[in-house]
Every structure is written in structure tokens, then in C-alpha cells.
Homo-oligomer: A and B are copies of this chain.
Amino acid sequence: MRTAILELLKHNEGHYISGEELSHTLNVSRTAVWKHIRALKQDGYEIEAHPRLGYALRQNTDRLLPDEIKAHLTSRMLGQEIHYFPEVDSTNNEAKKLAANGCPEGTIVVAESQATGRGRLARGWFSPFGKGIWFSVVLRPPFGPMDAAKCTLMAAVGVNRAINRVTGVGCGIKWPNDILWNGRKVVGILTEMSAEMDAINYVVIGMGINANMKEFPSEIAATATSLALATGQTVSRVILLAEILAELENVYTLVQQAGFESVFAAWRQESITLGRQVRVQGFQRNFSGLAVDIDADGALLIKTAQGVERVLAGDVSIRYDNQ
């Protein structure tokens, strides 16, 4: 019913429809109409109510509501099932619960804010209300757990492509899967999985996309930025999310048809790590060298005076010599 009222309002965007007409057309009471209008307002739709003329939609919501996302969706699997939360502890946690309970592949969890948004290795992720795209997607890939690290490179390619297409900014991928603009982080990706040794049960890819924030907490002010700061414009989160889902689905389909190498080629092109001097801070030793390539496992290959070192996600943090 709420969706039906919204559709009528959208169809007449900017023009009034009387409560009587809504009530008559949809065969509900005037009180019910009024309650739904109130709920739509709470969902961020700007609806003007005029005592005589009725209701008019002045501005669409800026929330990442399932109906709004679905209106822009071009992907066939990703985003067919959407779980929306104004606030959640972490979209990855919700998605893991759904996945463990058997939700279909492609299910997404979207939140306006995360109370305990998480980055890699239990680091926090700043997730203020309505300012970013905080979402997670459930995949059930036919890979083994040894392939899971490559999923994270695949995800980086998908989101980077979608961002550059929608916003026109020139973002790049910092190994393994941060998306940077002008040396500052725009997107973080946290991939988690449940697996047997033989097969993946599910993978949850969580993304924190700094869309429209204008400022950041002091701890990350020097290293983070947003697409709004990069473009000077507010970014439509709904359009960007739909595009990200489409591009993720593209790379995921390509990997299943042609293997990871097909997507690694794009990763190399969009990488801002390859060809750069990096310093590796590992568990046991530190070293510097030239990042020359990634190998078939998605490991970063670094040319040092002693030869080529192979660096796997988790082993190290990488710093750029010119940062």
C-alpha cells in the first residue's frame, strides 16, 4: 500500500493529489492514507500536505531504500533481495547471519549507518548516517577457499569501475583492494567467508564507500576523502550503488566464465600500486622494493635488491615511499 501511494505521488511529482483521490483510488481510509504519508516522510520523502489540495511529492528520498535501489537496478542476481536498516552494527555481520541461514546468492544488506562498522583486521570504519554507502553482498562462489583472496581483488575492480563511470573521478586501486582518489581512501572492502577446506559456503563482501561526507574524524582526516569532496558535487548513492552491483556482477560472471586472470588484467590497469616504490611491514621483517606485478594467487610481487618477494594479503601493510 505504501509503495502504491508512493507510486501515485511519483507519477504526479510536483502536483497535488487529494487525500480523497488517494483513498478512493486505492480503496483505503483517509486515515490509512495519512498514516502511510507520515511513514513515507519518515523514510525521507519530502511530501507537502495542503489542507485543501492534498499531497505532493516535492523531493524524492535520499535514503537507500529497497524500492529506490530496485528502480535503478540492472543486475540480474545482485540486489534482488535487499535488507535495509537505518542503523545496524555492521552490514557484514547481518549478511553473515543471513548467509548462514541460507539466503539466496546476491542478497545485499544496506544501512544508513553502522554502529560498529568494521574494516580489515578488526579496525573500525567511520559510517555516519546517510553519508556513505555501507553495504554487503552475499556470494556463493564455486571456488575453493584458496581462491577467496582473489575475490577481494575482483571486488575492487568492480567498484572502482562503477565509481569512475558514475562520478567521472579518476580513482585507482591500492593493493589489495582499497580505492583511492588523489592518494586518499574513498572505499574500503572487507571480505569474509565461511568455508570448508574443500569449498566455500559463502563469501560476504562488505564495502564502505565514502560518498557524501564533507569532513572526517581527526584520526583519518589526512588519509580519507569522499566522492563529494573529489567531485565537488553530491553523489546519488542510489545510482552509484546500482552501478556497483551491476559492475560487481559483471566481474563475478567473467571470473566464473574465464577465470580470475581475466579480471586481474583490469586490476593491473587500474592499480596505483604497480610501478611504485613500496615499503612492506611484515610480521617478522620489513623491506622495500618496486611493486612489479600480482601473481596468479593475487599476491603482490616486489622487486628488491635480493630478488622478487611475494606478499600475500594479511602478511603485511604497505606504505608508499612518497607518502
Neighbouring B residues of A151 by C-beta, 8 Å:
197
Q: Are A312 and B191 in contact (CB under 8 A)?
A: no
Q: Are A144 and B314 in contact (CB under 8 A)?
A: yes
Please tell me which one of the listed residues B121, B145, B190, B192 contacts residue A148 in the complex, with CB atoms under 8 A apart. Answer: B145
A152 at the interface (CB under 8 A from B): yes
A188 at the interface (CB under 8 A from B): no
Within the complex, what minimum Cβ distance (angstroms) separates A291 from chain B?
Answer: 18
Neighbouring B residues of A193 by C-beta, 8 Å:
145, 193-195, 197
Question: Which A residues are closer than 8 A to B by beta carbons?
Answer: 120-121, 144-146, 148-149, 151-152, 176, 190-199, 201, 297, 312-315
Neighbouring B residues of A201 by C-beta, 8 Å:
192
A198 and B148 alpha carbons, distance in the complex (Å): 10
Main secondary structure of the interface of A (DSSP, over half): mixed
Neighbouring B residues of A145 by C-beta, 8 Å:
145-146, 148-149, 193, 195
Q: Are A198 and B314 in contact (CB under 8 A)?
A: yes
Take A121-B198, A199-B121 as given contacts and tell me if A313 and B192 are in contact as well, using a CB distance cutoff of 8 Å: no
Pairs A–B under 8 Å by Cβ, sample size 7: A144-B314, A146-B312, A191-B196, A193-B194, A195-B195, A196-B314, A199-B314
Please tell me which one of the listed residues B176, B191, B197 contacts residue A149 in the complex, with CB atoms under 8 A apart. Answer: B197
Please tell me which one of the listed residues B152, B192, B194, B297 contacts residue A192 in the complex, with CB atoms under 8 A apart. Answer: B194
A72 and B162 alpha carbons, distance in the complex (Å): 59
Within the complex, what minimum Cβ distance (angstroms) separates A124 from chain B?
Answer: 14
A274 and B314 alpha carbons, distance in the complex (Å): 32
Q: Are B195 and A192 in contact (CB under 8 A)?
A: yes
Within the complex, what minimum Cβ distance (angstroms) separates A272 from chain B?
Answer: 19
Please tell me which one of the listed residues B191, B196, B199 contacts residue A197 in the complex, with CB atoms under 8 A apart. Answer: B191
